[in-house]
Amino acid sequence: MKIAVTSDNHFDVNRLDVDEMIKRQAEYLASKEVGIYLIAGDLFNDFEKSLNYVHRLQTELRSQTVVKFIAGNHDMVKGVTFSELESALDDSYMHNQFLDVPGTNWRVIGNNGWYDYSFADNVSGKTVADFESWKRAYWIDSSIQQPMTDTERMDLVLDESTKQLKMAEKAQKRVLYYTHFVPRRDYIRYAPEGNLWNMANAYMGSERLGKLLEQFGTEIVVFGHMHIHPKPKKFAKTVYYNQAVGYHNKRINEWQHETFLEEWQARLACFEL
């Protein structure tokens, strides 16, 4: 079974013709005989649009490819509540869900993920209150409503993931885990002291997630959120993949290819399981 994983397509920010992209992506996935296509968040700045895209892509691909997605922070800013994000609101939505890959002993576990400011511990003198205030003033996530603190939300992610990993371990499954946020410090960019980007690192993810995944011997971890192009990295038994496509507009160009389709194809992680 071939599995392909992508993240951070940002159709709206990149001002793409979604109708055309659905057709072209479906054609490519079908030509590569992809059986499961996983999306690790940030399709649109609107969950309803992201869900609609997934449904349309699934219709285009019919039964030859199963399309599943989780939400990134951009998907969460509009069109969905916290309680909905934590529910099994659609068959295609994989947050805190698993999918056993037919004909194999592999299990795919999905979780949106979150952050706990642990990657900004180099910003001297800053408190939790400072990070919360900076987020409200400057970060897109300030519009995401939640009934708990960011650290408590990350605690929830870890609790959900622990339960899923224990079930997979009991079932003697090999695991591909995919999430939106960053699970290891190795991917974080640290700027000279005083640079505001070091504050933004607070909202990148949590090093606690990587430690948990490695504790359970998770074999494959795929994530996005940071629009970078690292090669796969192995820590202990776990190989990490960042598959973000990222932005290409008048102000920012994070692509290494001329067109979205070329960049998307190059950024796909494909696994034969």
**Residue 27 pLDDT greater than 80, yes or no:** yes
Sign of CA dihedral 31, 37, 43, 49: positive
DSSP 182: B
Q: How far is CA 236 from CA 157, 213, 221, 226, 252, in A?
A: 22, 10, 12, 22, 35
Q: How far is CA 263 from CA 25, 177, 212, in A?
A: 12, 23, 31
- pLDDT mean across residues, the chain: 96
Question: pTM, whole model, 2 decimals?
Answer: 0.97
Give the tens place of pLDDT for each residue, 129-176. 999 999 999 999 999 999 999 999 999 999 999 999 999 999 999 999
- C-alpha span between 124 and 117 (Å, rounded): 13
Show Cβ contacts of residue 4 under 8 Å, excluding neighbours closer than 6 positions.
Answer: 29, 32, 34, 36, 37, 38, 268, 269, 270, 271
Residue 260: name the closest of 2, 63, 21, 1 by CA: 21
Task: Please tell me the predicted confidence (pLDDT) of residue 125.
Answer: 85
- C-alpha span between 127 and 116 (Å, rounded): 12
- C-alpha span between 198 and 202 (Å, rounded): 7
SS3 assignment, position 272: strand
Residue 224: name the closest of 30, 2, 10, 27 by CA: 10
Side-chain-facing half-sphere of 206: CA atoms under 13 Å:
20
| Burial (Cβ within 10 Å: 0-12, 13-18, ≥19) of residue 20 | exposed
Give the tens place of pLDDT for each residue, 203-242. 999 999 999 999 999 999 999 999 999 999 999 999 999 9
**Residue 72 pLDDT greater than 90, yes or no:** yes
Per DSSP, helices labelled H in the chain are 18-31, 47-61, 82-85, 128-138, 150-170, 197-200, 207-215, 260-267
Task: Please tell me the predicted confidence (pLDDT) of residue 56.
Answer: 98
Query: Residue 34's pLDDT band (boundaries 50, 70, 90)?
Result: very high
Task: Please tell me the predicted confidence (pLDDT) of residue 174.
Answer: 98
* Amino acid (1-letter code) at residue 250: K
Higher pLDDT, 101 or 192: 101
- C-alpha span between 186 and 209 (Å, rounded): 13
Residue ranges of domains in the chain, CATH in brackets: 2-272 (3.60.21.10)
Give residue 147's Cα distance to chain centre: 22
